[in-house]
Amino acid sequence: MPRKQIVILDKETLGADLDFSALTKFGDITEFKITTSDETLDRIQNAHIVITNKVLITAEMMQKAPKLELICIAATGMNNVDLDAAEKLNIPVKNVTGYSTNSVVQHTFSLLFYLMEHMHYYNDTVRSGLWSISGLFTDVSQPFHEISGKKWGIIGMGSIGQEVAKIATAFGAHVGYYSTSGENTSQPYLHQPLDVLLSTSDIISIHAPLNDKTYALINENNLPLLKKNAVLLNLGRGGIINEPDLAYALDRQEIYAALDVLEKEPIEPSNPLMKIENKERLLITPHIAWTSVEARQKLLKGVVKNIEEFLKG
């Protein structure tokens, strides 16, 4: 069997520490750190198999890549490939699911603890020498609360939301949730309307996909419902929270927010979230919740498995 020409379009987004050698058994590998939209067609034109994380592949590109047999998405989300066009052209598109659940759940709690326990303040207090000259063995100037006894509201009770719910319950939180599809209402937790969940929760975490029902789900109309000192976490998709509305709220309400996803990534310097006055109320990480070493290794294994299954027919 002739060796396949395999192109990896955005290897840098998967990490330099991953070992891609398992792919060499399928064919000859051409790797690109990143690929712009202007470069994509030229790079896939002679490929049999294309691996993409976030690079957009359009109908026109597929039509002009006559050798293309398989598109592997090194992610769960598939909105960067025109799936209708791929189906018409008989080009299978395979993604990988479930690889990042543990990583995203862990990052959810990392974000929460950083904000809830005022870690930035306390780290600065030690490093600046203020603790050393205080004469006190402790510092209780920024009080924090326990998760135990708090109400944790989850928006999107899929596999990640369910794992967050289990751990939050283990910490002693009372979990409620809102189903963004309106169909997932049989979980062993209190199902609530969105406005009730927002107005009663101390911690709110988002683990939902982005679609017509979730775009700008959190906005200027319901952000004022949040309780004083509530913590809002978005580990779903950028666009679920209206970012200008959140920036406005953070400077006018005593609330906290942590975001791992944004509507446009990387963040633009003009984003209102970059200009808020109460910077201690906001934590943004650069879309890293999915990127634990273990998660990325599972992802690569999933890509290899998808290619193996395709070649076996």
What is the C-alpha separation between 192 and 176, in angstroms, rounded? Answer: 7
Q: Encoding tokens for residue 16?
A: 């330099």
Q: Encoding tokens for residue 96?
A: 């990988």
| Fold exhibited by the domain 4-99+293-312 | Rossmann fold (3.40.50)
What is the C-alpha separation between 312 and 209, in angstroms, rounded? Answer: 32
SS3 122: helix
Tens digits of pLDDT across the chain (313 residues): 678 999 999 999 999 999 999 999 999 999 999 999 999 999 999 999 999 999 999 999 999 999 999 999 999 999 999 999 999 999 999 999 999 999 999 999 999 999 999 999 999 999 999 999 999 999 999 999 999 999 999 999 999 999 999 999 999 999 999 999 999 999 999 999 999 999 999 999 999 999 999 999 999 999 999 999 999 999 999 999 999 999 999 999 999 999 999 999 999 999 999 999 999 999 999 999 999 999 999 999 999 999 999 999 8
Instruction: Please name which of 97, 93, 53, 45 lies closest in space to residue 74, comparing C-alpha atoms.
Output: 53
Model's pTM, two decimal places?
0.96
**Same fold for the domain at 4-99+293-312 and the one at 101-284?**
yes
Architecture of domain 101-284: 3-Layer(aba) Sandwich (3.40)
Q: Name the CA radius of gyration of the chain, rounded.
A: 22
Q: Which residue is catalytic, options 146, 265, 308, 309?
A: 265
**Catalytic annotation on 281?**
no
What local confidence, expressed as pLDDT, does residue 1 receive? 64
**Catalytic annotation on 237?**
yes
Q: Which residue is catalytic, options 237, 243, 281, 296?
A: 237
* In the chain, where the domains are located: 4-99+293-312, 101-284
What local confidence, expressed as pLDDT, does residue 313 receive? 87
What is the C-alpha separation between 151 and 168, in angstroms, rounded? Answer: 9
Q: Which residue is catalytic, options 48, 107, 118, 287?
A: 287
What is the C-alpha separation between 47 and 170, in angstroms, rounded? Answer: 49
